[in-house]
Structure 1
Amino acid sequence: MENSEIEQRLLDAGERDEGSDLKRRVWNEVKLMWKIAFPSMLARVTAFGVMVVTQSFLGHVSELDLAAFALVQSILIRFVNGILLGMSSATETLCGQAFGAKQYHMMGIYLQRSWIVDFITATIMLPIFIFSAPLLKLLGEQADIAAVAGKISLWCIPYLYTFVFSLTIQMYLQAQQKNLIVGWLSATSFVLHVVLSWIFVYKLEWGTVGALAAMNIASWSSVIGMFVYIFGGWCTKTWKGFTLAAFVDMWPVVKLSISSGVMVW
């Protein structure tokens, strides 16, 4: 066999190996992407599903309650959610940098700093929910719908504070590729919400209060599950407990959170 033929066969074999290696690397990247993306998708879809289910059950209570909740959801909740979702993106950036630099202990500190910043932000926006009735009237809404929306918005305040923890914890766990638990907890809370809504609205006939209570209970159950996962020892590298260091050097977190929040909003 001539040398040129041998060299050609070796070249062909190398190209096949390179092609096979490329396919393997692409497949590994696709699996990694879906490992991270699917739980996040599941969490977002089920979180939105909670609102849809609540609206559906309220539609069976009365048209007035349905219209009022639609206003609260589309104007107040989405407004606050957009801001806090954007601010929580700062948690993803900071935790991702810390994880890449192998400064794992800083991830827990960044998470606590984000809780503080987001909690203060949510509290600042509380008057929007407390005084929603006169605010909606000022915007030209009908008086009867605005009055019911004012009552509903008060029941949505506990739900508002779930954003402070759920969104930041999702970013914190995603940065260390542990967000599968978030997807399962969100899906479980969605199922719980459907069951509770059916019991409270249809069986106990609690009406609007029952639908909103089910929404709050289901949403906080997911957050409590995340707390159990973090505090229970499944994030030993990145969670070292509560620390006063979270209150130090807050300004960079505030700046990044505000810029991210405005961008997403």
Structure 2
Amino acid sequence: FFAKPMFGRMSSYNSPDASNSERESIDNNFDQTEEEISLGPEDANGAEDRPPLTFETSPSRWERFWRAISRAVFTLPILPELKALYQLATAVFLTSLGQNCLFFESNMICGSLGKQALAAVGLANSVIYALGHFLGLGLVTACDTFFSQLYGSPSRHRIGMLLQKSVMIISLVPLLCSAYFLNLEPLLLLIGTEADLAKEAAEYVIWFYPGLFFCFNSYILSRYLQAQDKAFIPLTATFLANAANLGLNYLLVIRLQLGLKQVEMSSSSFVTSGFT
């Protein structure tokens, strides 16, 4: 677009009649036009507004130290393994938490029935935990090692046989617990427990006793699935069992006001532990 004016200037520049001042003005105009072409209209207008060049100072000793630690931590080769372990451990933790919350939910619901019922349920759950739940849970813990080793070995097909053996063995444990569960009332009276409290606690334990079979078997099935990296299945079942337990307790105890025996029935194997 400036070709024609520039041609006229060059012709006047080369003419013999041109003076030195005219040639200097043509040179200045040419330099200015060349600068505008090289910078562009935006750069030419903002050339004066550019900030001065600044140089960053060297980082301090602590900054270099933390940068080195950050690079070392976030480039570790074990980070993918830690991520996979975290995902598996979170599901296992939530499953174990949900299984143990079944007892807590019964205590929470029985608080609306009065102090006597709350004390009886608390005492009964303590006996179930100490003399039944922890006994079976300790035996089931061995399945973690057996299932994991067998699943990672060439004899992976034998893991089903190990599951059957574990279920048969753990099903015998509640039979051993029946010796003191069925005779809990005289044992509580022997240590000085009040008669009414001992009777209600013993009745609660008897109603909950069938649930031990399903509790222990559910623990084995959870270990069996977790060893095969299927931890989401027992987590879902535990969540649904807690929802069913809370719903039935609320319906039978708070809404229908059927009393303590309905808490025992809803917390027993036929409703919650068997569902898990």
Q: TM-score, length-normalised on structure 1?
A: 0.72
Identity across the alignment (%): 23
Q: What do residues 80-112 of structure 1 show as CA deviations (whole Å, max 9, x unaligned)?
A: 111111111221111111111132221111111
Q: Distance in 2 between matches of 1:106 and 1:206?
A: 48
Q: Which one of the candidate residues 190, 194, 215 is aligned to 1:138? A: 190
Q: Distance in 2 between matches of 1:49 and 1:156?
A: 15
- 162-171 or 73-82, larger mean C-alpha shift: 73-82
The Cα of 1:199 is off from its aligned counterpart by 0.6
* Higher helix residue share: 1
Bigger CA radius of gyration: 2
Aligned to 2:262: 210
The Cα of 1:75 is off from its aligned counterpart by 2.4
Whichever residue aligns with residue 135 of structure 1, its letter is: L
Q: Distance in 1 between matches of 2:153 and 2:112?
A: 53
Moved runs in structure 1, 4+ residues, more than 2 A? 18-23, 75-79
Aligned to 1:221: 275
Matched, 1:119 2:166: no
- 137-146 or 147-156, larger mean C-alpha shift: 137-146
Q: TM-score, length-normalised on structure 2?
A: 0.69
Q: Is the 8 A contact 1:99 1:107 kept in 2?
A: yes
Q: Which one of the candidate residues 144, 168, 190 is aligned to 2:220? A: 168
Q: Distance in 2 between matches of 1:102 and 1:197?
A: 47
Unaligned runs of 5+ in 1: 1-17, 223-265
Q: Is the 8 A contact 2:208 2:265 kept in 1?
A: no
Q: Distance in 1 between matches of 2:247 and 2:231?
A: 25
Aligned to 2:122: 70
Aligned to 1:188: 240
Q: Distance in 2 between matches of 1:136 and 1:52?
A: 22
How many residue pairs get matched?
205
Q: Is the 8 A contact 2:215 2:274 kept in 1?
A: no
Name the SS of the counterpart of 1:69 in structure 2.
helix
Q: Distance in 1 between matches of 2:147 and 2:192?
A: 43
Q: What do residues 102-142 of structure 1 show as CA deviations (whole Å, max 9, x unaligned)?
A: 32221111111111111112211112211111111122212
Unaligned runs of 5+ in 2: 1-70
Q: What do residues 119-173 of structure 1 show as CA deviations (whole Å, max 9, x unaligned)?
A: 1122111122111111111222122211111111111112211222111111111
Cα RMSD after superposing both structures: 2.0
Q: Is the 8 A contact 1:193 1:214 kept in 2?
A: yes
Whichever residue aligns with residue 27 of structure 1, its letter is: L
Aligned to 1:86: 138
Structure 1 residues 22, 55: closer, same or farther in 2, change over 3 A?
same
Whichever residue aligns with residue 54 of structure 1, its letter is: S
Q: Distance in 2 between matches of 1:22 and 1:83?
A: 44
Aligned to 1:14: none
Whichever residue aligns with residue 26 of structure 1, its letter is: I
Bigger RCO (CA 8 Å, 6+ sep) = 1
Structure 1 residues 22, 99: closer, same or farther in 2, change over 3 A?
farther
Aligned to 1:55: 107
